[in-house]
Structure formats: C-alpha cells, structure tokens
Structure 1
Amino acid sequence: MNKTRFWVVGGEYTSCDCDTLISGTERVVGPFESRTDAEQTWRSLSEDHRPQAQVRFTIAHEPSMGA
C-alpha cells in the first residue's frame, strides 16, 4: 500500500497575484509522510519570508497510488 506524500512548494512571484514564479526562486521541500510534518515546514518557511509580500508557499500532495 502506498501512502500519500506531501510537499511544500513555492517561491517568489512577480506580483502579489501569485500567478508567475520568478525563475530561480522555486523551492520544493519534501516529501513528508504526514500533512502535520509538511505544515510545520510550511509555517517555518512562511514565517521566514513574512516581510516579503510576493513570496508564497503551499502544501501539495501526491495522490496515493493504490494497487
């Protein structure tokens, strides 16, 4: 049985609309085995970049690939 894995993804965007990432600023952190672990990293990254309005991170997940 495969489990769902979680990733923290984001970076700096060209505007506060968060439509287009600035090349070279992309970050992908993970995988995490639980959403709780991913949330801890997401909170830390978000807090570290709090003064930068155009930097955003989110949690993504891979659907489990059941047989």
Structure 2
Amino acid sequence: MTSRYWVVGADYADCNCDKPLPGSHSLHGPFTNERRAQTEWKRLTFRDRVDAMRRYSIAIEGRTATA
C-alpha cells in the first residue's frame, strides 16, 4: 500500500500543547510523498510566527506500526 501524508494542526489553550481547543483542528492533504508534506508543514508552521499556541505535525496513512 502506498503511504499518504497529512499535515494535521490545532490551536492549544497554552504553550504546553496538552489539550487542543475544541473545533480548532485542521487537516491538509493528502500528499503523495513526504517532501511535499514537509513543505506544507513548513509553510503552515512559519506562516504565523506570532502564534505560539498553534502546532502542526505530519501523519502518515498506510504505514503499519512496528513494535
């Protein structure tokens, strides 16, 4: 199975980023390769440099977890 990459983000109540604010989730993708997902992650992460309580990460779909 081919992996698909998603950039997932949310706003948080504080800088610890423990609990996302309800309704603040965002999903970007799918991207067919990791490089494109990383480019989007960088664009979103550095777009609003003043927003320290917004965090994005890359999720991979189609990859089996290993123990």
TM class by shorter chain equals: 0.7 to 0.9
Q: Which amino acid letter does the alignment assign opposite residue 51 of structure 2?
A: Q
Check if 1:11 corresponds to 2:10.
Answer: yes
Q: List structure 1 runs of 4+ shifted beyond 6 angstroms.
A: none
Q: How far off is 1:23 after superposition?
A: 1.3
Q: How far off is 1:58 after superposition?
A: 0.5
RMSD across aligned positions (CA): 1.3
Instruction: Report if aligned partners of 1:12, 1:22 keep a CA contact under 8 Å in 2.
Output: yes
- For structure 1, list consecutive stretches of 5 or more residues without a partner in the other structure: none
Rounded to whole Å, the distance in 2 between the matches of 1:64 and 1:55 is: 26
Rounded to whole Å, the distance in 2 between the matches of 1:56 and 1:34 is: 21
Q: Which amino acid letter does the alignment assign opposite residue 35 of structure 1?
A: E
Instruction: Report if aligned partners of 1:13, 1:54 keep a CA contact under 8 Å in 2.
Output: yes
Q: How far off is 1:45 after superposition?
A: 0.4
Which position in structure 1 is the counterpart of 2:35? 36
Aligned residues: 64
The TM-score normalised by the length of structure 1 is: 0.86
